[in-house]
Structure 1
Protein backbone atom coordinates (compact mmCIF):
# COMPACT_ATOMS: atom_id res chain seq x y z
CA UNK A 1 0.00 0.00 0.00
CA UNK A 2 1.36 3.39 -0.97
CA UNK A 3 1.96 5.96 1.79
CA UNK A 4 -0.10 9.13 1.70
CA UNK A 5 1.41 11.42 4.32
CA UNK A 6 -0.61 14.42 3.20
CA UNK A 7 -3.90 12.56 3.66
CA UNK A 8 -2.72 11.41 7.09
CA UNK A 9 -1.91 15.01 8.05
CA UNK A 10 -5.35 16.10 6.85
CA UNK A 11 -6.96 13.47 9.08
CA UNK A 12 -4.91 14.67 12.07
CA UNK A 13 -5.86 18.29 11.31
CA UNK A 14 -9.56 17.44 11.10
CA UNK A 15 -9.46 15.42 14.33
CA UNK A 16 -7.38 17.89 16.35
CA UNK A 17 -8.97 21.05 14.97
CA UNK A 18 -12.53 19.80 14.71
CA UNK A 19 -12.76 18.31 18.18
CA UNK A 20 -11.19 21.34 19.89
CA UNK A 21 -13.41 23.70 17.89
CA UNK A 22 -16.44 22.10 19.54
CA UNK A 23 -14.97 22.91 22.96
CA UNK A 24 -14.40 26.51 21.88
CA UNK A 25 -17.90 26.96 20.49
CA UNK A 26 -19.34 25.69 23.78
CA UNK A 27 -17.44 28.47 25.59
CA UNK A 28 -18.75 31.37 23.51
CA UNK A 29 -20.12 33.93 25.96
CA UNK A 30 -19.19 31.73 28.92
CA UNK A 31 -15.68 32.90 29.81
CA UNK A 32 -16.58 34.06 33.33
CA UNK A 33 -15.69 30.62 34.72
CA UNK A 34 -12.23 30.89 33.18
CA UNK A 35 -11.87 34.50 34.36
CA UNK A 36 -12.65 33.33 37.91
CA UNK A 37 -10.00 30.62 37.74
CA UNK A 38 -7.47 33.13 36.44
CA UNK A 39 -8.29 35.56 39.25
CA UNK A 40 -7.81 32.79 41.82
CA UNK A 41 -4.31 32.24 40.41
CA UNK A 42 -3.54 35.99 40.52
CA UNK A 43 -3.80 36.43 36.75
CA UNK A 44 -5.91 39.11 35.02
CA UNK A 45 -9.41 37.95 34.06
CA UNK A 46 -9.21 39.39 30.53
CA UNK A 47 -6.87 36.51 29.64
CA UNK A 48 -10.02 34.36 29.56
CA UNK A 49 -10.70 35.74 26.10
CA UNK A 50 -7.61 33.85 24.93
CA UNK A 51 -9.87 30.79 24.82
CA UNK A 52 -11.37 32.24 21.62
CA UNK A 53 -7.92 32.37 20.02
CA UNK A 54 -6.77 28.95 21.18
CA UNK A 55 -10.05 27.00 20.95
CA UNK A 56 -11.84 28.67 18.02
CA UNK A 57 -9.53 30.65 15.73
CA UNK A 58 -6.49 28.33 15.91
CA UNK A 59 -8.59 25.17 15.35
CA UNK A 60 -10.34 26.75 12.34
CA UNK A 61 -6.95 27.65 10.86
CA UNK A 62 -5.71 24.12 11.56
CA UNK A 63 -8.81 22.61 9.92
CA UNK A 64 -8.42 24.61 6.71
CA UNK A 65 -4.64 24.29 6.73
CA UNK A 66 -3.70 27.95 6.96
CA UNK A 67 -0.44 28.60 8.84
CA UNK A 68 -0.88 25.20 10.47
CA UNK A 69 2.42 25.23 12.37
CA UNK A 70 1.81 28.71 13.84
CA UNK A 71 -1.82 27.91 14.64
CA UNK A 72 -0.73 24.67 16.30
CA UNK A 73 1.66 26.57 18.56
CA UNK A 74 -1.25 28.73 19.79
CA UNK A 75 -3.42 25.62 20.09
CA UNK A 76 -0.85 23.72 22.18
CA UNK A 77 -0.24 26.79 24.35
CA UNK A 78 -3.97 27.00 25.10
CA UNK A 79 -4.21 23.28 25.87
CA UNK A 80 -1.19 23.45 28.20
CA UNK A 81 -2.66 26.54 29.84
CA UNK A 82 -5.89 24.59 30.47
CA UNK A 83 -3.89 21.65 31.77
CA UNK A 84 -2.09 23.73 34.37
CA UNK A 85 -4.95 26.11 35.18
CA UNK A 86 -7.82 23.64 35.55
CA UNK A 87 -6.44 20.10 35.63
CA UNK A 88 -3.28 20.31 37.75
CA UNK A 89 -4.69 17.93 40.38
CA UNK A 90 -5.46 15.29 37.74
CA UNK A 91 -2.06 15.15 36.02
CA UNK A 92 -0.97 11.97 37.82
CA UNK A 93 -4.40 10.36 38.20
CA UNK A 94 -5.83 7.37 36.42
CA UNK A 95 -9.49 7.04 35.43
CA UNK A 96 -11.81 4.19 36.40
CA UNK A 97 -10.61 2.13 33.40
CA UNK A 98 -6.93 2.46 34.26
CA UNK A 99 -6.17 5.08 31.61
CA UNK A 100 -4.72 8.51 32.25
CA UNK A 101 -7.36 10.87 33.64
CA UNK A 102 -6.34 13.52 31.11
CA UNK A 103 -5.88 11.28 28.09
CA UNK A 104 -8.11 13.40 25.83
CA UNK A 105 -6.18 16.55 26.67
CA UNK A 106 -2.97 14.58 26.20
CA UNK A 107 -4.08 13.55 22.72
CA UNK A 108 -4.96 17.16 21.87
CA UNK A 109 -1.54 18.34 23.02
CA UNK A 110 0.41 15.57 21.28
CA UNK A 111 -1.56 16.00 18.04
CA UNK A 112 -0.94 19.73 18.14
CA UNK A 113 2.78 19.23 18.79
CA UNK A 114 2.96 16.79 15.87
CA UNK A 115 1.46 19.46 13.59
CA UNK A 116 3.98 22.02 14.86
CA UNK A 117 6.75 19.78 13.54
CA UNK A 118 5.07 18.50 10.35
CA UNK A 119 2.89 21.33 9.16
CA UNK A 120 -0.46 20.70 7.52
CA UNK A 121 0.69 18.88 4.40
CA UNK A 122 -0.21 19.59 0.79
CA UNK A 123 -3.97 19.10 1.23
CA UNK A 124 -4.29 22.50 2.86
CA UNK A 125 -5.30 26.05 2.04
CA UNK A 126 -1.67 27.07 2.14
CA UNK A 127 1.39 24.83 2.24
CA UNK A 128 4.38 26.76 0.91
CA UNK A 129 5.06 29.16 3.79
CA UNK A 130 7.48 28.15 6.57
CA UNK A 131 4.57 28.42 9.06
CA UNK A 132 2.45 25.97 7.05
Structure 2
Protein backbone atom coordinates (compact mmCIF):
# COMPACT_ATOMS: atom_id res chain seq x y z
CA UNK A 1 0.00 0.00 0.00
CA UNK A 2 2.78 2.45 0.88
CA UNK A 3 4.63 1.64 -2.34
CA UNK A 4 1.50 2.33 -4.38
CA UNK A 5 0.92 5.59 -2.52
CA UNK A 6 4.53 6.60 -3.09
CA UNK A 7 4.29 5.74 -6.79
CA UNK A 8 1.18 7.90 -7.13
CA UNK A 9 2.81 10.76 -5.28
CA UNK A 10 5.93 10.47 -7.43
CA UNK A 11 3.89 10.53 -10.63
CA UNK A 12 2.13 13.71 -9.51
CA UNK A 13 5.29 15.50 -8.35
CA UNK A 14 7.81 14.35 -10.99
CA UNK A 15 8.69 17.68 -12.62
CA UNK A 16 12.50 17.99 -12.52
CA UNK A 17 12.66 20.91 -14.94
CA UNK A 18 10.19 22.91 -12.87
CA UNK A 19 12.19 21.99 -9.75
CA UNK A 20 15.36 23.30 -11.39
CA UNK A 21 13.57 26.53 -12.32
CA UNK A 22 12.27 26.98 -8.78
CA UNK A 23 15.73 26.34 -7.35
CA UNK A 24 17.35 28.76 -9.82
CA UNK A 25 14.83 31.51 -9.13
CA UNK A 26 14.99 31.18 -5.36
CA UNK A 27 18.77 30.97 -5.25
CA UNK A 28 19.36 33.70 -7.82
CA UNK A 29 16.95 36.18 -6.25
CA UNK A 30 18.32 35.64 -2.75
CA UNK A 31 21.94 36.14 -3.89
CA UNK A 32 20.87 39.15 -5.95
CA UNK A 33 19.75 40.92 -2.76
CA UNK A 34 23.39 40.89 -1.66
CA UNK A 35 24.42 42.34 -5.01
CA UNK A 36 21.83 45.10 -4.83
CA UNK A 37 23.17 46.04 -1.39
CA UNK A 38 26.67 46.24 -2.87
CA UNK A 39 25.38 48.39 -5.73
CA UNK A 40 23.66 50.76 -3.30
CA UNK A 41 26.45 50.96 -0.72
CA UNK A 42 29.55 50.16 -2.77
CA UNK A 43 32.35 47.74 -2.02
CA UNK A 44 34.63 50.12 -0.14
CA UNK A 45 34.49 48.03 3.02
CA UNK A 46 35.47 44.94 1.00
CA UNK A 47 38.40 46.84 -0.55
CA UNK A 48 39.66 47.73 2.95
CA UNK A 49 39.27 44.15 4.13
CA UNK A 50 41.16 42.78 1.13
CA UNK A 51 43.96 45.32 1.52
CA UNK A 52 44.10 44.43 5.22
CA UNK A 53 44.87 40.87 4.17
CA UNK A 54 47.57 42.07 1.77
CA UNK A 55 45.44 41.52 -1.34
CA UNK A 56 44.76 44.08 -4.08
CA UNK A 57 41.59 46.05 -3.44
CA UNK A 58 40.34 45.83 -7.03
CA UNK A 59 39.39 42.19 -6.36
CA UNK A 60 36.40 43.57 -4.42
CA UNK A 61 34.74 44.48 -7.70
CA UNK A 62 34.45 40.77 -8.42
CA UNK A 63 31.62 40.82 -5.90
CA UNK A 64 29.52 42.51 -8.58
CA UNK A 65 30.15 39.56 -10.89
CA UNK A 66 29.39 37.02 -8.16
CA UNK A 67 26.40 38.81 -6.68
CA UNK A 68 24.81 40.62 -9.62
CA UNK A 69 25.88 39.18 -12.98
CA UNK A 70 26.00 35.49 -12.00
CA UNK A 71 22.61 35.49 -10.19
CA UNK A 72 20.97 37.21 -13.16
CA UNK A 73 22.42 34.57 -15.48
CA UNK A 74 21.12 31.82 -13.20
CA UNK A 75 17.66 33.39 -13.03
CA UNK A 76 17.54 33.64 -16.82
CA UNK A 77 19.02 30.18 -17.32
CA UNK A 78 21.96 31.43 -19.39
CA UNK A 79 25.44 29.94 -18.76
CA UNK A 80 23.91 28.50 -15.62
CA UNK A 81 26.68 26.09 -14.70
CA UNK A 82 29.58 28.57 -14.93
CA UNK A 83 27.50 31.25 -13.17
CA UNK A 84 26.78 28.86 -10.30
CA UNK A 85 30.49 28.00 -10.05
CA UNK A 86 31.29 31.72 -9.81
CA UNK A 87 28.80 32.13 -6.95
CA UNK A 88 30.24 29.15 -5.06
CA UNK A 89 33.75 30.56 -5.48
CA UNK A 90 32.48 33.96 -4.34
CA UNK A 91 31.13 32.31 -1.19
CA UNK A 92 34.48 30.71 -0.42
CA UNK A 93 36.18 34.10 -0.67
CA UNK A 94 33.48 35.74 1.47
CA UNK A 95 33.81 33.09 4.18
CA UNK A 96 37.59 33.35 4.24
CA UNK A 97 37.50 37.15 4.45
CA UNK A 98 34.45 37.91 6.54
CA UNK A 99 33.08 35.04 8.61
CA UNK A 100 35.77 32.36 8.64
CA UNK A 101 36.03 32.57 12.42
CA UNK A 102 32.56 31.08 12.72
CA UNK A 103 33.60 27.72 11.26
CA UNK A 104 33.55 25.92 14.63
CA UNK A 105 30.66 27.84 16.21
CA UNK A 106 26.99 27.26 16.86
CA UNK A 107 24.30 29.89 17.24
CA UNK A 108 21.98 30.18 20.25
CA UNK A 109 19.49 27.88 18.50
CA UNK A 110 22.06 25.22 17.65
CA UNK A 111 22.61 26.16 14.00
CA UNK A 112 26.09 26.07 12.51
CA UNK A 113 27.73 29.51 12.48
CA UNK A 114 28.22 29.27 8.70
CA UNK A 115 24.85 27.74 7.91
CA UNK A 116 23.68 30.42 5.47
CA UNK A 117 27.03 30.55 3.73
CA UNK A 118 27.09 26.75 3.42
CA UNK A 119 23.58 26.74 2.01
CA UNK A 120 24.56 29.26 -0.67
CA UNK A 121 27.85 27.47 -1.40
CA UNK A 122 26.28 24.03 -1.79
CA UNK A 123 23.25 25.50 -3.56
CA UNK A 124 25.64 26.90 -6.13
CA UNK A 125 27.30 23.51 -6.50
CA UNK A 126 23.94 21.79 -6.92
CA UNK A 127 22.86 24.24 -9.62
CA UNK A 128 26.23 23.79 -11.31
CA UNK A 129 25.70 20.02 -11.37
CA UNK A 130 22.03 20.15 -12.42
CA UNK A 131 22.17 22.93 -15.02
CA UNK A 132 19.26 25.11 -15.98
CA UNK A 133 16.82 22.50 -17.16
CA UNK A 134 14.33 23.13 -19.92
CA UNK A 135 13.00 26.47 -18.67
CA UNK A 136 15.41 29.13 -19.84
CA UNK A 137 15.22 32.33 -21.86
CA UNK A 138 17.40 30.70 -24.52
CA UNK A 139 16.42 27.62 -26.46
CA UNK A 140 19.97 26.60 -27.38
CA UNK A 141 21.12 24.03 -24.78
CA UNK A 142 24.76 25.06 -25.37
CA UNK A 143 23.95 28.48 -23.88
CA UNK A 144 22.13 27.18 -20.79
Under TM normalisation by the shorter chain, which class is it? over 0.9
4+ residue runs over 3 A deviation: none
1:25 aligned onto 2:36: yes
Aligned equivalents of 2:105, 2:136: Cα separation in 1: 37
Q: Distance in 2 between matches of 1:66 and 1:89?
A: 35
- Give the structure with the larger helix fraction: 2
| 1:13-66 superposed Cα distances (whole Å, 9 cap, x missing partner) | 011110000011001142110001100111000111001000000000001100
Report the structure number with the largest CA radius of gyration.
Answer: 2
Q: What does residue range 21-100 of structure 1 map to in structure 2 within 5 Å?
A: 21-28=32-39, 29-100=41-112
Unaligned segments of structure 1, at least 5 residues:
none
Structure 2 counterpart of 1:128: 141
What is the total number of aligned residue pairs between the two structures?
131
- What CA distance in whole angstroms lies between the structure 1 residues aligned with 2:28 and 2:44? 24
**Secondary structure in 2 aligned to 1:107?**
helix
Corresponding residue SS for 1:27: helix
TM superposition score normalised by structure 2 = 0.87
Cα-Cα RMSD: 1.2
1:45-97 CA-to-partner distances (Å, cap 9, x unmatched) read 01110010000000000011001001111111111110111111011111110
Structure 2: gaps spanning 5 or more residues = 1-11
Aligned to 2:121: 109
Give the TM-score of the pair, scaled to structure 1: 0.94
